[in-house]
A and B are shown apart, each in its own frame.
Chain A
């Protein structure tokens, strides 16, 4: 058999005192597809960045193409045929397909661009991938899947021998995934090695020869794909105790309380189909699912940010028609967006102005009562321990955790009854997280209804009394009690388990 193209020996990586990767050893052969599985934060992207030369490993050696390195840099990695297709494409929307394929590596003749040559070469590459795409089309007119193919063609110009695909299928439809897989197999037949990262267990099982499973930076498993079934994979990815950062859950079920918010048959064109859910006062309802499954869309549609196609929304049993966030706020709903800086806070505004952004009416008697605003901001500063030296300074100067607390204060200041919290602890440190979990429980103890949307399984499990798993714009399952565990959520979120109809599991 031939030599491995890439061998890692005892690779480890630490950021300061934090060990993110530990003793990773593996080798991959030309023409092999290696799947890499792991939860968010398991160390997948760190490993990929080491292979593509972006990060320097703390310990260990890399054998690439028969040469030994203690660290790679992006240029050396690229020279030896390592290429990566990122989740976010780096294409220029206004340029044509062939111009993008050769961007930064343009072919010249007598000093001028050789358009004909580049067009021809692009056509050849695309047809070798069996993709029917006109090299003359501008990128902005392509679908996501076609853009991905342009990225593939781009790395092939460099004669890539080791191709890293980072969650390539999250943005694709089933049919497009099939095309991608055909392309991947064509590349493999040419002897290209593929590192394939995905959350979707079924795809990994279909495509990969071998599997590397990471958990907390450790190599848990490196084996032939055929030896594991999907449930084994999910179990190996997880298998960890939840630490005590979550407050106690509800002692008794709230089943008998009437729902504060009830959604019937909610649909949003191309995004959501027939969403039914209810959330009661005093409970935390979790939304789990993969990124792009439609969880945020459910929240934003309820808030009147998208025009719903169908469906009814009841608040405390009363049918309401919410066509703007304003109307939603008036009915006691509040939404914390996952995009704190893009949709949540005005970074140039100060702490006070941000906190009263929704509730400003209450501070107006003819004119805005700036002193009342300040008093209220001081109240939240104390209640949520917001660390800000100056309430009049722009919130852009605060840390992520403190910004998030300001954002929470903004919602709390309209005294909502139903809160929808989208990734409430994204990008904040562990102590701030703990405070926010405590706050969420306090809210339910004040008889408010809370929905928590989270991509961190641990968080959903730790905080939610009930969990809805969302997959491809639909509710895949409702989990209760002991069935709220990582294995179950993963199986439904990744589509390893399906039901013709949604069902309840547990209790």
Chain B
């Protein structure tokens, strides 16, 4: 009856086709920015396209990128997690203690990995319970736990760097698979899993619903608190994975430096990727692109010899620009 006239021009067909792709306006802008940045970078510095350099950039990006993927879930559900950086340090300390306390080297590494994921999940659970059961704003809870986790890491180690003589440990995060650094493989593997979880399962749909309007979600029979809690656990597990990659790459952990300011890089990647800080919508690929953009900018500034003191300014400018563009679109 009220069907629109059936005029299938080339344009509309093309538009229809685009709609089928997971690309939409939200992710298109950061993608274009990434491609532009890539082109500009390869022109600006001859070293940029060097395999070794690209491989290093990707590896650097992976540590915060893995965390940013977990952060995406928290932010879509309407929360925020400021504690992830400190959590990296605390989980890193836990990993090395476990690895060093078990004599069989293979067993030690395996248990260390499991412990990292368990510890990350538990710390996330701690944050999540305070937010849902304690009814404290996520910002406040994780601001406090940021301080608590860092403090615990420093106390357990007496602020000293912990390292391990285990011969196998460093091959986890320092190793290569098919010529690709392991952290990069973990990063992209995790991104695929997270994307499927967010867009192809009821769980992901519920996360978006809770972030968009918790009241409607409650009236629709969604267990709002459980969803919010679970996003913090996911963020914690991601921190666990990142801590494994980072500590095993360095074969040590510094309780004062590990994960320092990672929360800001992770949140920045999420925001640049087009996920709304107010919650309700977002995309994993956006976050991946956001993390890559940040990594390439960092690398470029180093390669072109820009003062390290100015790097923060550039990073901040990019974040502001991304958010400004988001608001323009909305």
Contact = CB atoms under 8 A, between A and B. Distances in A.
A163 interface: no
B313 interface: no
B202 A392 contact: no
Nearest to B216: A346
Nearest to A337: B219
A364 interface: yes
A343 interface: yes
A111 interface: no
B1 interface: yes
B219 A392 contact: no
B220 A358 contact: yes
A343 B219 contact: yes
Given A346-B209, A349-B209, A325 B202 contact: no
A357 B200 contact: no
Interface in B211-233: 212-213, 215-221, 223
A324 interface: yes
Contacts of B220: 325, 357-358, 410
B21 interface: no
Contact of A368 (B19, B202, B208): B202
A505 B166 CA distance: 87
A335 interface: yes
Contacts of A348: 212, 280-281
Interface string B56-93: 00000000000000000000000000000000000000
B221 A325 contact: yes
A370 B218 CA distance: 23
Given A348-B281, A368-B202, A342 B196 contact: no
B205 interface: yes
Contacts of A345: 216
A389 interface: yes
A319 B38 CA distance: 66
A404 interface: no
Q: How many of chain A's residues touch chain B, expressed as a range? A: 20 to 34
Contact of A357 (B1, B209, B281): B209
Contacts of B280: 346, 348
Interface residues of B, number: 24
Contacts, number: 64
A357 B200 CA distance: 14
A324 B208 contact: no
A358 B199 CA distance: 17
B216 A367 contact: no
A360 B205 contact: yes
B324 to A, nearest CB: 20
Contacts of A497: none
Contacts of A368: 199-202, 205
A385 B19 contact: no
Nearest to A369: B200
B201 A325 contact: no
Contact of B201 (A326, A358, A367): A367
B212 A347 contact: yes
A473 interface: no
Contact of B219 (A305, A367, A370): A305
Contacts of B201: 364, 367-368
A345 B212 CA distance: 10
A353 interface: yes
A410 B219 CA distance: 12
Nearest to A356: B205
A345 B280 CA distance: 13
Interface in A410-437: 410
Interface in A383-425: 385, 387, 389, 392, 410
Contact of A325 (B1, B196, B208, B218): B218
A429 B217 CA distance: 27
A353 B216 CA distance: 13
A385 B202 CA distance: 27
B313 to A, nearest CB: 34
Best-surrounded residue of B19, B201, B212, B216 (most CB of chain A within 10 A): B216
A503 B201 CA distance: 51
A389 B4 CA distance: 8
Contacts of B2: 385, 387
A92 B32 CA distance: 46
A235 interface: no
A344 B281 CA distance: 18
A361 interface: yes
A33 B46 CA distance: 87
Nearest to B276: A348
A329 interface: yes
21 contacts: A305-B218, A325-B220, A328-B221, A329-B221, A342-B213, A342-B216, A343-B216, A346-B216, A346-B217, A346-B280, A348-B280, A349-B209, A358-B220, A360-B202, A364-B202, A367-B200, A367-B201, A368-B200, A385-B1, A392-B19, A410-B220
Q: Which 8 residue pairs across A and B have the least CB separation, nearest first?
A: A326-B221, A367-B200, A325-B221, A343-B219, A360-B202, A346-B212, A357-B220, A348-B212
Given A325-B220, A346-B216, A367-B200, 13 more contacts: A305-B218, A324-B223, A342-B216, A343-B219, A345-B216, A347-B213, A348-B281, A353-B205, A358-B221, A360-B205, A364-B202, A367-B196, A387-B2
